[in-house]
Structure 1
């Protein structure tokens, strides 16, 4: 059986797909914001699914991923995004509330219904929260590329070092590239030179985009995105808190808004 060459290309594409929807999310409002959030949640959740599929045949990946999965499960923010995707796909719209910004535009907050908002995301703009989540997924792919350099990138695999590490032969190379058997048997040409020539037929992994997203550099059309910076003490934060589970408003934004305004008026009168 021919050696099966693997790649992180498809997981990386899912990462870029999630970035695409995040860029749209950051510039939308109203019902459109809900649509883009749903799309981001779905694409971002697919990153780990496609990663597992792409690397399923790689020796050692299962144990490596089990450790990563355990770490993700104790990350409250990552677990919350998983829950949001399930809500979005199986139950209905994700609960959030929005408010205007002093300089124009809107900012949104997650509402703790039906799941409590973890501390790391409380009082944080939703688009900024999504950007932080995407960076974690980028780091997951980056860690995988470093742990399995020849299995994650075909261009690295098609090298003398890759051949030694993966244990494949020239017939495997020919089969992978769709070349006739014996095509690479050219006397007098060193293996390194043969790989250099053949590498033109191999698409390398776009590791630069993975590194960029892992660093938190989220872009739209090549331009870095800026997300609203929140203090957690805005009126929209008060409304989001009052709409959470057990707050008595039953998820009604109008009632929560009126209560938040009255509380601020009371605070001003007492000051």
Structure 2
């Protein structure tokens, strides 16, 4: 069969082995954007980093909505072993109207594994430290008359791919995109992709050394005042399908990767909607 006989070439945002458990410390590290280096903004940054690490280590997006989390956030500093700042405007002179108090910084925090795991346990969660497979992404985009598939070498969709990469990095999951020529050669476009079965995509992922495939589509809706996205991923028994409505594409891609992480970490399927 021509579809199965073609070897796809992919460009990876991360190498497939990057999240394969070689650097556990990276799972317990997170970065938040803060304004200035004052204590009040630093403490808020600690809380944001704690949320990020709890999500990344557990793989379970439901932890962020757990009502028991709120009082624990104030204890974030007790779990941090080290932190440092990076000036996001490094190299740009400080002006009177843009002093260090208002300057944006990346605040990176390292969390103590034992204490973080204990906090997860208090929330009924457990760490997901198993190797994280590389995910090949097959995503169609439709906005009015414009329709295309996200491709590694498509300059027009670079912003969307970057947003997807950020969503994946937040969960330490490697991702891959096909090139435009690959899509043409296998006959995949924005019209056929949503109708193609998930096993076909999983077979493509296997051919190029990837582990799994995520298929999805996002469509702009004037009525919803945002994107409507649907995602498909094999959950070990069948195809898990979930949707998100009326969001920007950052949130749509975040929904995709958080759903994948929830499944892979053994925390069940994401809510259908």
Q: What band does the TM-score fall into relative to the shorter chain?
A: under 0.3
TM-score normalized with structure 1 length: 0.22
Tell which structure's C-alpha radius of gyration is larger: 1
The structure in which a higher percent of residues are helix is 1
TM-score normalized with structure 2 length: 0.21
